Structure 1
Amino acid sequence: MIRLSSPQSIRLRSRLAAGLALLTLAVTTASADVVFAPFFRDNAVLQREKPVPVWGRADPGEKVTVTFQSQKTEATADDMGRWSVTLSPMRASSTPAELVAKGKNTVTARNILVGEVWLCSGQSNMAMTVNRTLDADAEIAGAASYPLIRHFKTKLTSAALPCDDAEGAWEVAGPSTAGGFSAAAYYFGRELFKALNVPIGLLNSSWGGTQIESWMSPQALSADPSWPEVVQRWQDEMKAYPAKAAKYEIDIDQWNKARATAKKEGAKFTTRAPRKPDGIGSRRQPAALYNAMIVPFLPAAIRGAIWYQGEANAARNAEYRTLFPAMIRQWRADFGQGDFPFYYVQLANFGRGTSWAFQREAQGYALKLPATGQAVTIDIGESADIHPKNKQEVGRRLALNALANTYKLGGEFSGPVFDGVSKEKGALRVKFTHAAGLKTKDPALPGFAIAGADKKFISAKARIDGETVVVSAAAVKDPVAVRYAWDNDPPSPLYNGSDLPASPFRSDDWEK
Structure 2
Amino acid sequence: MKRVTPSRQLIVFVRITVMLLTCLSMQAFAEVHLPNMFSDHMILQREQENPVWGTDRPNQKIEVSIAGESVSTVADAEGKWRVRLPALPAGGPHAIKVAGSSTTTIKDVLVGEVWFCSGQSNMQWPVEKTYGADVEIAAANQPKIRLLSVTQHGTSIPQDDIKGQWQVCSPQTVSEFSAVGYYYGQFLHQALGVPVGLIDNSWGGSTAEAWLPRSALEASGDYDEMLELWDEQVENFDPAEFEAYKKRYQAWAKGGYKGPAMEWYRTVHPVNGQITPANIYNGMVHPLKGYGIRGVIWYQGESNRARAEQYRQLFPTLVEQWRKEWNQGDFPFYWVQLADFGKEIDEPADDEWAELREAQTIAFDELSNAGQTVIIDLGEGRDIHPRNKKTVASRLARWPLANDYGFDMACQSPRYKAMEIVGSKVRITLDHVSAEGLWSFDTHEVIGFSISGADKEFVWAKARIIDGSTVEIWSDTVEKPVAVRYGWAQNPKVNLFDRNGLPLTPFRTDDWPMLSSGRVK
TM normalised by structure 1 equals 0.88
- Aligned-pair distance for 1:249? 4.7
Residue of structure 2 equivalent to 1:125? 122
Residue of structure 2 equivalent to 1:142? 139
Matches within 5 A, 1:353-368: 355-367=352-364, 368=366
Residue of structure 2 equivalent to 1:18? none
Say which is worse superposed, 130-139 or 431-440, in terms of deviation: 431-440
Q: Distance in 1 between matches of 2:245 and 2:363?
A: 42
Residue of structure 1 equivalent to 2:300? 309
Residue of structure 2 equivalent to 1:331? 322
Residue of structure 1 equivalent to 2:94? 97
Q: Distance in 2 between matches of 1:253 and 1:137?
A: 35
Letter of the 2:50 counterpart: V
> 491, 494, 498: which is aligned to 1:492?
494
Residue of structure 2 equivalent to 1:6? none
Q: Distance in 1 between matches of 2:236 and 2:452?
A: 44
Q: Is the 8 A contact 1:421 1:429 kept in 2?
A: yes
Q: Distance in 1 between matches of 2:184 and 2:247?
A: 44
Residue of structure 2 equivalent to 1:189? 185
Q: Distance in 2 between matches of 1:306 and 1:347?
A: 14
Matches within 5 A, 1:181-260: 181-238=177-234, 240-242=236-238, 245-249=239-243
Q: Distance in 2 between matches of 1:29 and 1:227?
A: 44
Gap change, CA 1:246 and 1:115, over 3 Å in 2: same
RMSD (Å), alpha carbons: 2.4
Q: Distance in 1 between matches of 2:464 and 2:169?
A: 46
Q: Distance in 2 between matches of 1:28 and 1:432?
A: 70
Secondary structure of the residue aligned to 1:338 is: coil
1:51-75: CA deviation from partner (whole Å, max 9, x where unpaired): 1111111111111111111111111
> 388, 396, 399: which is aligned to 2:397?
399
1:124-165: CA deviation from partner (whole Å, max 9, x where unpaired): 111110000010000001111x22111100011112111111
Q: Distance in 2 between matches of 1:164 and 1:48?
A: 25
Residue of structure 2 equivalent to 1:154? 150
- Aligned-pair distance for 1:425? 2.2
Q: Distance in 2 between matches of 1:131 and 1:28?
A: 47
Structure 1 residues not aligned, in runs of 5+: 1-25, 259-268
Q: Is the 8 A contact 1:378 1:501 kept in 2?
A: yes
Gap change, CA 1:175 and 1:218, over 3 Å in 2: same
Letter of the 1:371 counterpart: N
Secondary structure of the residue aligned to 1:397 is: helix
Q: Is the 8 A contact 1:46 1:301 kept in 2?
A: yes
Secondary structure of the residue aligned to 2:108 is: strand
Residue of structure 1 equivalent to 2:4? none
- Aligned-pair distance for 1:250? 5.2
1:303-327: CA deviation from partner (whole Å, max 9, x where unpaired): 0000010000001111100000001
Q: Is the 8 A contact 1:130 1:182 kept in 2?
A: yes
Q: Distance in 2 between matches of 1:497 and 1:253?
A: 50
Say which is worse superposed, 456-465 or 79-88, in terms of deviation: 79-88
Q: Is the 8 A contact 2:90 2:111 kept in 1?
A: yes
Secondary structure of the residue aligned to 2:237 is: helix
Gap change, CA 1:98 and 1:496, over 3 Å in 2: same
- Aligned-pair distance for 1:471? 0.2
Sequence identity (%): 41
Residue of structure 1 equivalent to 2:18? none
Gap change, CA 1:348 and 1:79, over 3 Å in 2: same
Q: Is the 8 A contact 1:241 1:277 kept in 2?
A: no
Gap change, CA 1:499 and 1:253, over 3 Å in 2: closer
- Aligned-pair distance for 1:406? 1.6
> 40, 57, 63: which is aligned to 2:55?
57
1:252-284: CA deviation from partner (whole Å, max 9, x where unpaired): 89999x9xxxxxxxxxx9899x98551323322
Letter of the 1:484 counterpart: Y
Residue of structure 1 equivalent to 2:12? none
Q: Is the 8 A contact 2:146 2:198 kept in 1?
A: yes
Name the count of aligned residue pairs.
471
Residue of structure 1 equivalent to 2:479? 477
Letter of the 1:194 counterpart: Q
Q: Distance in 2 between matches of 1:175 and 1:322?
A: 41
> 510, 513, 517: which is aligned to 1:508?
510
Q: Distance in 2 between matches of 1:229 and 1:69?
A: 52
1:382-404: CA deviation from partner (whole Å, max 9, x where unpaired): 00101110000111111001111
Q: Detail structure 1 runs of 4+ shifted over 4 Å in the superposition.
A: 26-31, 248-256, 269-272, 274-277
Gap change, CA 1:331 and 1:493, over 3 Å in 2: same
Secondary structure of the residue aligned to 1:296 is: coil
Secondary structure of the residue aligned to 2:384 is: coil
Q: Distance in 1 between matches of 2:454 and 2:249?
A: 56
Residue of structure 1 equivalent to 2:517? none
Q: Distance in 1 between matches of 2:339 and 2:474?
A: 27
Secondary structure of the residue aligned to 1:178 is: coil
Q: Distance in 1 between matches of 2:303 and 2:100?
A: 46
Residue of structure 1 equivalent to 2:439? 439
Gap change, CA 1:271 and 1:413, over 3 Å in 2: closer
Letter of the 2:448 counterpart: G
Structure 2 residues not aligned, in runs of 5+: 1-22, 258-263, 345-350, 515-521
Gap change, CA 1:253 and 1:482, over 3 Å in 2: closer
Matches within 5 A, 1:262-277: 277=268
Residue of structure 1 equivalent to 2:261? none
Q: Is the 8 A contact 2:342 2:381 kept in 1?
A: yes
Q: Distance in 2 between matches of 1:296 and 1:82?
A: 14
